[in-house]
A and B are shown apart, each in its own frame.
Chain A
Amino acid sequence: MTSPSSDTGAGILRLHPDGTASRGSRILGIVVLVSVVVFLYVALVASAPDKSLDAQGQLVRIMYLHVPSAIACYTAFFVTAVASGMYLWKRTMGWDALAASSAEIGVLFVALTLLTGSIWGHTTWGTWWEWDPRLTSTALMFVLYLGYLALRRAVLDPTSRAKQSAILGIIAFVNVPIVHYSVDWWRSLHQTATVASLDPQIDGLRLFALMFGMVVAMLLYVWLMMHRFRLAFAEAALEAKGLDLALAERRAEARADGGTVPPSVKTEGAS
């Protein structure tokens, strides 16, 4: 812990010199790991299967994954919307990196929400999909944010990309409640027989498992954000440096050739 060049810690706190880790993220990472282990124990072993009237038996354990994933994804997209707003206000690239990272992690959690929801549904409904209102809205949200990520890939200029994604990041989040409301209303009209709800009525250790799952999901989200944000930041810095380097080289070439140095030309966006 007292090495001269860089204080990279010792033992479990030893950080990779090139990586995006820091003391804080390492400690958080250890906390996350421990929490995950505890969670798995509580979710899979300690808590008893659901033996209530509309019993789901062991299947309620899937809920301990599904609900926390949903919480995490909504949080992620909310953060994207706020960070997008902050970018439009402050115009610093850090906010853009935050928005983008959160969206990416959010999409991951949505995918998990859909997968666990579908698996749970298959056991109860007998099919891999029923047009359950929450799952349907979630599916739309998934595509919505895939679109956000697609837009980011399509725009080359960093400032332009940041501005356009920021606007989209806010509008996309505004759409979420609209979509939810419409789909809910729509399904409430067409619900045929009682479709077993994705909201388990549970208590005791099972409720604790669910709640703890949410806590673990949020901790994991934060840890992933720390690394993903730093990665995005580093990539942006690299991009800027690479651009500066290329321009400097070009000017050096021009001078060496004895010709005139061309004025700085902003790289064209995709068009």
Chain B
Amino acid sequence: MADLAAESMLRDAAMVVGKDLRLEWRSRVTLSQILPFALLVLILFAFALDPDRRILEEATPGLFWLAVLFSMLLAIQRAYAVETTDGVIDALRLSDLDPAGIFLGKAAGIGLHLLVLEVVLFIGVTVLYGATPHGGLLVVVTMLLATAGLAAAGSLYGVLAAGLRVRDTLLPILMLPVVAPVLIAGTEAFSAAYANSSGDGWKWCGLLAAFSVLYLAIGIFAFEPLLEES
């Protein structure tokens, strides 16, 4: 019985992700708006910090994850904006879809968008800040784990804010304190990777993994009541 429930949950999740990806493919919002925004953030950091004193290169791990966090806010807003227009969210509520499945689907969608952003941002910091990446595996694993956590938390808080008129100002203040540990861990892991001293970095990945698992679990349970109220 539990297998059947899990299967339908994953199937519903796949349906939701598919829908969101198709939407993105047709509207290209992430590609044409959020991606440029992410690159813009990298450029603004260079204006804010002195590019000649190698501060950018040293701060790359942190700046990278900051850019990811800011772009994440847009990605989450977008993920739920597509639902709140034209009463689509009512359709979602009334559909037979398993709410946990909707949560996972939304999270997967946000996660995939974030991964694309991160790849581009990674190229961005390598080119713009001159940071030479070492520790490839650690970098990849960090990105995957951090993204999972950000996407899970984002999917949860996104639905909470989705139905509110003040969602654009409320979401950042709700999300950013929550994902501060991801920022810390991601930065530390990247620093370890860049400095080629991977040891500590893997421990931070452990924290990221725990964070992701926690928020995936919370989301699976808490999504349904939040969806009802949005």
Contacts and interface: CB of A to CB of B under 8 A. Distances in A.
Contacts of B188: 186, 189
Contacts of A269: 163, 229
Interface residues of A, number: 30
B167 to A, nearest CB: 8
Interface in B198-230: 200, 207, 211, 214, 218, 222, 225-226, 228-229
Interface residues of A, dominant DSSP: helix
A163 to B, nearest CB: 5
Contacts of A144: 177-178
Given A182-B181, A270-B163, A270-B164, A147 B225 contact: no
Interface residues of B, number: 28
A157 to B, nearest CB: 8
A228 to B, nearest CB: 23
Contacts of B226: 164, 167
A147 B229 contact: no
B2 interface: no
Contacts of B214: 174, 178
Contact of B173 (A146, A164, A270): A146
B185 A182 contact: yes
Nearest to B215: A171
Contact of A154 (B166, B180, B222): B166
A153 to B, nearest CB: 8
B195 interface: no
Contacts, number: 81
Contacts of B119: none
Contacts of B156: 171
B180 A174 contact: no
A64 to B, nearest CB: 28
A150 interface: yes
Contacts of A260: none
A175 B178 contact: yes
B170 interface: yes
Interface string A126-148: 00000000000000110110110
Given A163-B229, A168-B160, A151 B184 contact: no
Nearest to A148: B174
Contacts of A175: 177-178
B170 A154 contact: yes
A147 B184 contact: no
Interface in B157-175: 160, 163-166, 170, 173-174
A143 B218 CA distance: 21
A143 B177 contact: yes
B180 A151 contact: no
Contacts of B173: 143, 146-147, 150
Contacts of A270: 163-166
A113 B84 CA distance: 40
21 contacts: A140-B180, A144-B178, A147-B174, A147-B177, A151-B174, A154-B165, A164-B229, A167-B226, A171-B156, A171-B218, A171-B222, A175-B177, A178-B181, A182-B180, A182-B181, A186-B184, A186-B188, A189-B188, A189-B200, A270-B163, A271-B84
Interface of A: 88, 140-141, 143-144, 146-147, 150-151, 154-155, 160, 163-164, 167-168, 171, 174-175, 178-179, 181-183, 185-186, 189, 269-271
Given A154-B164, A178-B181, A270-B164, 11 more contacts: A143-B176, A150-B173, A155-B229, A160-B229, A168-B174, A171-B178, A182-B207, A183-B181, A186-B184, A189-B188, A271-B163
